[in-house]
Structure 1
């Protein structure tokens, strides 16, 4: 289970097909946050300056807390001044000029373009273009598919008798993204397929959300509930290690006892005399068995949901730090609403895809693929094996020569791809995709010579010449085979539009039989 989960923990009661269950969640308020106009703790907001100066850029905040301080070009704004206000309310800075900012919830484009980054992101206009090129048309899940993702086998058996029969599609929409990077395109992809999946259960609050005590009471599996403050990285004043932490935002009634948000971290010195049963849930007493049972139930429910997803984004990056940063970026947008539709991987393309192909007995499994990394042409062979027929491959390259390398690789290796489009994207007037003509052609003089050689060979065969004429026909056929690879030349020219600056080139390939 991933430890990169949205920050907010809440207690909610969920009703599924008549069954009520108490859920501790770090994601359960995603829908509430997106529909309520009141700004809540842990939200990210956009502050727009209301003055006449156009040089002041919008400010994207961190997840808000009462102690958050947001720096502006003149003064600061406290998080406590924003929490509880409504969208489009005005908040003022602490400077004597009291600069005013209007509160907004950031759109996906604003969020991905303004959020902190380790690498250059794919900007919103280019991400929208890529999504449109994939032509995604996800269908909604049936009631039976929703039930399968949320109920155990016994409850499902009884429930299916009551559900109407519907036409269902068991085909899974699986999109592979190589080069997670900032996570911007990953978010756009997840939003595009979001409707195909059943409603996600609350993300488990305690998958490594607390640390169990290991041997001799020394804790292991440390997990930071707040990446910025890192509470689990702190040591107690006595120099002990963290034993246990449970974080809860609302009052909870459990086993006849009511308790609120626990802000105290339970620290204790490692000791050989502490019983293992007590050290595992230090400070919780009789609540420990119920909390452990609830944690296991949540993990089982979430694992069941993951196995029944109808659409998923498989995103891979070779850098662990980039992948982790992208997780955090995705978790922080609207409280992680799109997180359940994404699987993160760290490694190389051949290792990941070869492993997946081994589990499918060599059958292709990807609906579409996107390559955003150097030396794209090196990976076309393994992508061809993994991509289903008629699937689309998007290659993102900073230069046109890399598109040419892909064309050459496809031709030489006889890979089952056809290049449908080459689009130039950038920050000039060509934003949205300036189309280029990129193809291998045979020069007219070589084509003329081949026709003449073919005519001579045909004449030799019909006249049944022998000796030198047969040898000439053989030489002509040999030359033709060599020229198939060596005589081709590349055409690379823009079809329409004007000069653009920066950006890159998008190649749109289709997998053929």
Structure 2
């Protein structure tokens, strides 16, 4: 009886400072958008639409692309809101989202054609990058260095930086502080995403932190305008989350590698072997028109068993790289060639529910419509990986032929038997969704085979060549 009247024990409360409490509460749900954020606005009436990607939010700015809504949406209306909040305009309403990496790369302004998310994921996956978190055990080891040649839009740069993100310690300053540009920007260039983010004020502190990085992405771009644009793209993805892992370089990739090797080849002892620099690159990605011209320098700088990925829109360009490796006897072995089919890498599907409210048709008309619908459905089910471009061109030249993409209106669906005008029946339509945003291409994966590529090539090259010549002569 006394136990029933006894009050329940009070929960144990540990003292928590205000900063920690604010940090804990911020993780319980979406955070509020602030200045410097890039936000995705999607029309509520068109949830499948790509949406509108804002520039970095700043007080007094506006989303110019929303003029169709009756009035432009201002940045001040977005600041302070959270993800999935709704902003109402005169003609429509927008739902706010924090853009994913795929949406950010696809919708951000461009001056160069990007490698989109599906293809970039495959490329980075084939490069097989693995990192360990920073610890005392690996503090004295050499950092993992990844080279990207042909920065372009910066999409692959972000994917590479995300792959090595866990290897580096946190910044000593606030997370908004990001790496300053290694090259002064040209005032004549239009900088993408002009934002009020502050750079790191103490450069000495940041340089000291850079020396503790366990992984870094070097990206080399020959065009200044592309480099400035890509640096802004990387800088403004989630307040520069991955920007501190990337070092941007302007110039030719072969010259950059040779300068780096020359700086590492200072003699440290009387031994002549000390003059030869050690390879320092673990992974290399080339996205250049003539990648074969840079392979000799890449082979010198790539570590043994390191991976080289070459991306080109044509398969003959991959063959040119293999030919250059054979002719120059470089210590690189071709392991894998893959075709990247753009959006077809992970083919999306479209699923819709269509409602019927029309009165019943005659038996003969319904039967005829059902036959037509079954033919279209059979044709839609025939979509597979073996459909080639010739069939697509034939369909374009014959507009009278039934098209899979032709979608019947909801009030006139074919092949549906409706018993009454008031009944509601639903039909699920599933089909592959065609996309035109991705361009695809080919990627070749090469691996460094030995320290002394010339010696190995001299041992095996002539014998192989003579064997091939003998086989060709016998044929």
TM range (shorter): 0.5 to 0.7
Q: Does residue 194 of structure 1 match 2:109?
A: no
Quickly say closer, same or farther: Cα 1:35–1:377, change in 2 above 3 A: farther
Match status 1:393 vs 2:308 = yes
Which residue pairs with 1:105 in the alignment? 98
Residues in 2 aligned to 1:331 and 1:499: alpha-carbon distance in whole angstroms: 41
The CA distance in 2 between the partners of 1:131 and 1:34, in whole Å, is 32
Query: For the structure 1 residues 355 and 335, does the alpha-carbon distance in structure 2 shift closer, same or farther, using more than 3 Å as the test?
Result: same
Q: Deviations over 1:181-216 (max 9, x none)?
A: 10110011111101101112237979999xxxxxxx
Contact 1:427-1:500 at 8 Å conserved across structures: no
Cα distance in 2 for partners of 1:421, 1:370 equals 14
Alignment correspondent of 1:79: 75
Deviation (angstroms), 1:57? 2.8
Counterparts of 1:3-22 in structure 2, within 5 Å, are none
Match of 1:45 in 2: 39
State the match for 1:336 in structure 2. Answer: 240
Q: Per-residue deviation at 1:363?
A: 1.8
Structure 1 CA distance for aligned equivalents of residues 128 and 227 of structure 2? 26
The answer on whether the counterparts of 1:430 and 1:497 sit within 8 Å (CA) in structure 2 is no
Q: Secondary structure at the match of 2:125?
A: helix
SS in 1 for 2:69: coil
Q: Is the 8 A contact 1:207 1:299 kept in 2?
A: no
Contact 2:234 2:243 in 1 (8 A): yes
Distance 1:84 1:196, change over 3 A: same
Q: Report the Cα distance in structure 1 between the residues aligned to 2:249 and 2:165, rounded to whole angstroms.
A: 20
Match of 2:113 among 108, 116, 120: 120
Match of 2:398 in 1: none
| CA distance, structure 2, for counterparts of residue 428 and residue 228 of structure 1 | 26
The CA distance in 1 between the partners of 2:157 and 2:180, in whole Å, is 25
Q: More displaced, 306-315 or 69-78?
A: 69-78
Matched, 1:511 2:399: no
- Is 1:379 aligned to 2:272, yes or no? no
Question: Does residue 356 in structure 1 map to residue 260 in structure 2?
Answer: yes
| Pairing 1:316–2:316 present | no
The superposition leaves residues 111-140 of structure 1 with CA deviations (integer Å, 9 ceiling, x where unpaired) of: 111110110001001111111111111000
Q: Distance in 2 between matches of 1:176 and 1:52?
A: 41
CA spacing shift, 1:374–1:223, aligned 2, 3 Å: closer
Aligned-pair Cα RMSD in Å:
3.3
Per-residue CA distance 1:345-400 (angstroms, 9 max, x = gap): 00001210000111222321100100001011111111100100100000000101
* Structure 1: gaps (5+ residues): 1-28, 145-165, 210-219, 232-246, 250-293, 433-495
Mapped to 2, the partners of 1:118 and 1:386 lie a distance apart of 30
Counterpart of 1:239 in structure 2 is: none
Instruction: Please say if residues 119 and 342 of structure 2, whose CA atoms lie closer than 8 Å, have aligned partners that are also in contact.
Output: no
Question: How much does 1:429 deviate?
Answer: 3.6
- The 3 A distance-change label for structure 1 pair 176 and 35 is farther
Q: 1:42·1:65 contact (CA, 8 Å) conserved in 2?
A: yes
Give the deviation of 1:82 after TM superposition: 1.0
1:170 lines up with 2:170 in the alignment: no
Deviations along 1:11-59, one digit per CA (max 9) or x if unpaired, are xxxxxxxxxxxxxxxxxx9xx89985211122111112211474x4311
Aligned residues: 322
User: Where do 1:233-252 residues align within 5 Å?
Assistant: none
TM-score, length-scaled by structure 1: 0.57
Provide the secondary structure at the position in 2 that maps to 1:335: coil
Equivalent-residue separation in structure 2 for 1:104 and 1:68 (angstroms): 18
Question: What's the secondary structure of 1:113's corresponding residue?
Answer: helix
In the alignment, the residues of structure 2 paired with residue 429 and residue 207 of structure 1 have an alpha-carbon distance, to the nearest angstrom, of 36
Q: Is the 8 A contact 2:146 2:282 kept in 1?
A: yes
2:230 and 2:249 map into 1 onto residues whose CA distance is 11
Q: Tell me how far 1:61 sits from its aligned partner.
A: 0.5
Matched residue, 1:151: none
SS of the equivalent of 1:420 reads: strand
SS of corresponding position for 1:367: strand
